[in-house]
Amino acid sequence: AQSVTQPDIHITVSEGASLELRCNYSYGATPYLFWYVQSPGQGLQLLLKYFSGDTLVQGIKGFEAEFKRSQSSFNLRKPSVHWSDAAEYFCAVGFTDKLIFGTGTRLQVFP
Amino acid sequence: EAGVTQFPSHSVIEKGQTVTLRCDPISGHDNLYWYRRVMGKEIKFLLHFVKESKQDESGMPNNRFLAERTGGTYSTLKVQPAELEDSGVYFCASSQVPGATNEKLFFGSGTQLSVL
């Protein structure tokens, strides 16, 4: 069955530090992969997606993610975190006409 | 252009009561989705409308949940009677086109439902 695992429930980083949020998926075919972010009081916003081609994808707000088929991973990275990045991040895989999400990682940023 | 609107933003009800959540999609979006996140768990798909028709309702938990989209515009999700395990955040999303590759899927900010 299709599933997405985000092993880190909560991550705390200092502003300016680098960030990596982990995501592993289970899917039988070539996956369509997404990262969404939810800031307080806001809806889910698409950060980036991978469908095919270059395995390193760039997104909005300076985020990038790398698809590694051999590891079934799609980790999200940012070289330097800003206080406004504090939010909850969701990895998802597209399946038929729906999204299958992970449990989310809450990011806290200290000044 | 207005985004996906959901209301109420918060609802607190007692077990056994009825609650109706509403979602107004972006104008012109035929596809409307409901998702739910129970605290600490993943966001789970509930159902998908194409216009007023239910395309996929495989994620609906049980028959206490009733979703409608009369006229193919806004949608309501009614829970009757509500149980404690129904507590969570209910998200609505809409898009012009369906599909797993859809990057033009817009989410509302959700309704936080608390059943006491």
Q: Which residues of A touch B35 (CB under 8 A)?
A: 99, 101
Looking at chain B, which residue has its C-alpha nearest residue A43?
B109
Q: Specify the higher pLDDT residue, B40 or A24.
A: A24
| Bridge partners for A65 per DSSP | A57, A76
Are A4 and B3 an interchain contact pair (Cβ–Cβ within 8 Å)?
no
Are A94 and B100 an interchain contact pair (Cβ–Cβ within 8 Å)?
yes
Q: Which residues of B touch A49 (CB under 8 A)?
A: 103
CB-neighbour burial class of residue B46 (10 A; exposed 0-12, middle 13-18, buried 19+): buried
Question: By percentage, how much of chain B surpasses pLDDT 90?
Answer: 84
Looking at chain A, which residue has its C-alpha nearest residue B4?
A43
Are A43 and B106 an interchain contact pair (Cβ–Cβ within 8 Å)?
yes
pLDDT tens-digit readout, A73-110: 999 999 999 999 999 999 999 988 889 999 999 999 99
The CA distance from B67 to B54, in Å, is 9
CB-neighbour burial class of residue A89 (10 A; exposed 0-12, middle 13-18, buried 19+): buried
Residue with tokens 């997404």: A34
Q: What is the pLDDT of residue B39?
A: 85
The CA distance from A44 to A27, in Å, is 23
Contact (Cβ atoms closer than 8 angstroms) between residue B49 and residue B67:
yes
pLDDT tens-digit readout, A17-75: 999 999 999 987 778 999 999 998 888 999 999 988 889 999 999 999 999 999 999 99
The CA distance from B36 to B91, in Å, is 6
Q: What is the pLDDT of residue B28?
A: 92
Q: What is the pLDDT of residue A49?
A: 93
Closest to A90 in 3D by CA, of B98, B88, B44, B79: B44
Q: What is the mean pLDDT of chain B?
A: 93
Q: Cα distance from A79 to chain B (closest Cα, Å)?
A: 24
Are B59 and A98 an interchain contact pair (Cβ–Cβ within 8 Å)?
yes
Copy the structure tokens of residue A49: 């997606």
Are B91 and A44 an interchain contact pair (Cβ–Cβ within 8 Å)?
yes
pLDDT tens-digit readout, B7-34: 999 999 999 999 999 999 999 999 999 9
Q: Which residues of B touch A95 (CB under 8 A)?
A: 100
